[in-house]
Structure 1
């Protein structure tokens, strides 16, 4: 599948959070100090890079997007260097200067492609008057499509509840990279992006996927969250939503070189994509691809559109089964392909004697999306529906023939009189029936519409039906 990237030049994000300067001292190491058994690093290069919330903004700007950064800094050289670098990258900024605190800076000493030591220069912005910060946010927030909050627990977002309240008033999605063990302060946000350690710090150790899903949904319900995107290192990412099955995105990096700032990249790309109206599944897919690229770089880094596109087009899809599946496997494979941004089409029927009308109808159905599911009445279900002499072909044969069709991805059976429960489990993007059905009378139609899907009625060949073929055969036998 070829994935078309959105026009990131039109993305529009406001970033608020803990602003930092990431300073790198690069040098050579050839001897041990006589003073203490530690290496001596002869520094030959110094690089300053915006970090924390500023790195989120840098990632959006690297895509060509429109972005503004708001946060707290000190009155010092580090703040001036940040302003200069952000301006060079066409990032608009509003810094609230606090003369009692230094700008947060992390100094890393690098040699031979290794981090020797990190030194942190910081004083948390706790108990700082945030009135000016809130006033600036109120002025600029309505001008942006998405609000990204980068929380490193340095004090800038001590007023996060008030910020969320304002964003919800303006109906602006709120993406938060959280920190700490008090997620209650994020109540009402749209999406949180914790890593697995942060997630387990809140909900407790999770020994398997079922526990992760259960506790994630409890967390979302408790704090009124739309979704959780859990970053899981070499296991990729998992998107969990309250009313839908989880989506899994496999890790895309060939080699993990440095994870510094990878979370910033995820939030930046996710926010940029959502600001363009992309759905949550595709936005997470793009963020995962971006993370796969940035961890292959050294230090605090960003990604550009070409790098994301390179990962996306070479995306290593987990090989998934097609053909005849049971319900459990179907739910899993649907989750996987949804994670790639693919649309699911679903139809159902007896499909007793496959004919031209069926083939034509299924071909048209497949054109609506990327994947086609055909749900087939079991033999018992068919007898209740069509009478004791049906089906002509037993379930195994009907499913085998359907699975051999090139346009059909998965064939699944159901024993109930109708597939409403299966439809609810899959939540297709398109629910399709053929013939003269009224949309309001299609089983599962209202439920699919309620979940944001579409219900379609396709033309069916009037002179083709299994029943008419059977009737013709019976007449010919009599004659």
Structure 2
């Protein structure tokens, strides 16, 4: 059962270095590129990155990890100071350092050095884990998770445990709420033929049963994530909300961190995976672990908005980051293919999508007696579950003009065959430099036509002998 305690991240911290440069010639003594260095950046990796991502949501985070007396360990301490609380195990040796040399669109080479042995567990660690609202194990196979394995097994009995495995690490403890291997890791652990979704689903279910885990999610990169359970023939595929092009380094750490934050807030596995997929896509699109905003400043940044977050806080945070706020509105009484297509297209226009939805009284005035068919609370829940929707906010008027004046989106989207400039919202949007656009709507799809068709079918069934 979750409580008010912190999210506890347990695992191996690394120091990640990115040496960026420009290549425009080969070396005279060998056919290898010469990199003229333009930037040399160091940041926490592994469990350190996961803890930083989790803390960025506003969650209270404690990181239990092994650090030494070397320069790399000191660099990690300084980078995490003011972001997370550190509980240190001694490290006999040096912290692992992974250096990527990047030029153009990707890395040229990676250089690994360092490593050490994890020492004894400090006496305060059991109390830290006992008070956790959730536990994330970022296991990079370097000894921290193994040193705490009995304590982690106890923690799984009272708090959700998210386990991010590694080929060099051990299996998750029994009862882990969610295990997060990527497709390659799952294939190595459960060999089989092909990379079809059915094969990923088989691997996930087999691993969940082998590990006695509540669920296993196989992350599939730009295809999303596949949530599986032991012996379950019906996995849930969560697609990415939009194509995210960028540096994928650290996306797995981000996914596991955001899933753990969701569990700490009381989410179910399905909800946690949806939030993690959306957050990981945004993370990659922003530049991944090398995004300077991730490490800029001290302390916690503004919390990342969950699905169905407060629309106004979401709009402020997106605008503060230089993004585009998109909004659309309607009744959404019976969600159908026309709605879904419109929302998907609207989300691709900007960096977030706020859906303004008519209240029950507003809808009844517009559509007449017998409406709504679906009450407002259910309509909000259904809309918020869509991967394209970032926030939902209801309004009481016939048109959301007051709401739009407070929200001030950059783009207002309507579906239909009328002129954007003829819409009453267009003049309002112009006051703050916003734009009204019309997107094509699927012909023959409407709530009214669906309701009429259902009524005719029901009447025909009653007349049938």
TM-score by length of 2: 0.62
1:274 maps to 2:320: no
Aligned partner of 2:88 in structure 1 is 95
How many angstroms does 1:147 deviate by? 0.4
| 1:241 corresponds to which of 222, 229, 234 | 229
Is the 8 Å Cα contact of residues 16 and 148 (structure 1) preserved in structure 2?
yes
Aligned partner of 1:186 in structure 2 is 173
1:107 maps to 2:96: no
1:265 maps to 2:258: no
**What stretches of structure 2 of length at least 5 have no aligned partner?**
295-301, 307-313, 328-333, 338-369, 384-446
Mapped to 2, the partners of 1:192 and 1:11 lie a distance apart of: 22
How many angstroms does 1:167 deviate by? 0.4
| 1:287 corresponds to which of 276, 287, 291 | 276
| 1:52 corresponds to which of 36, 46, 51 | 46
**What stretches of structure 1 of length at least 5 have no aligned partner?**
1-9, 324-358, 373-400, 414-465, 471-479
| 2:113 corresponds to which of 121, 138, 141 | 121
Is the 8 Å Cα contact of residues 11 and 273 (structure 1) preserved in structure 2?
no
Aligned residue for 2:108, secondary structure, equals strand
Equivalent residue pairs, number: 333
Mapped to 1, the partners of 2:374 and 2:305 lie a distance apart of: 35
Distance 1:228 1:113, change over 3 A: same
Alignment of 1:21-170 (within 5 A): 21-88=15-82, 90-99=83-92, 101-123=93-115, 125=117, 128-129=118-119, 131-132=120-121, 135-159=123-147, 161-169=149-157
Aligned residue for 1:273, secondary structure, equals helix
How many angstroms does 1:222 deviate by? 3.1
Mapped to 1, the partners of 2:121 and 2:377 lie a distance apart of: 55
Aligned residue for 1:225, secondary structure, equals coil
How many angstroms does 1:40 deviate by? 2.1
1:172 maps to 2:169: no
Mapped to 2, the partners of 1:280 and 1:403 lie a distance apart of: 36
Deviations 1:21-58 (A, max 9, x none): 11122233343222322222233432111100000001
Mapped to 1, the partners of 2:114 and 2:46 lie a distance apart of: 13
Mapped to 2, the partners of 1:30 and 1:210 lie a distance apart of: 45
Aligned partner of 2:9 in structure 1 is 15
Who wins on radius of gyration, i.e. which is larger?
1
Mapped to 1, the partners of 2:448 and 2:250 lie a distance apart of: 48
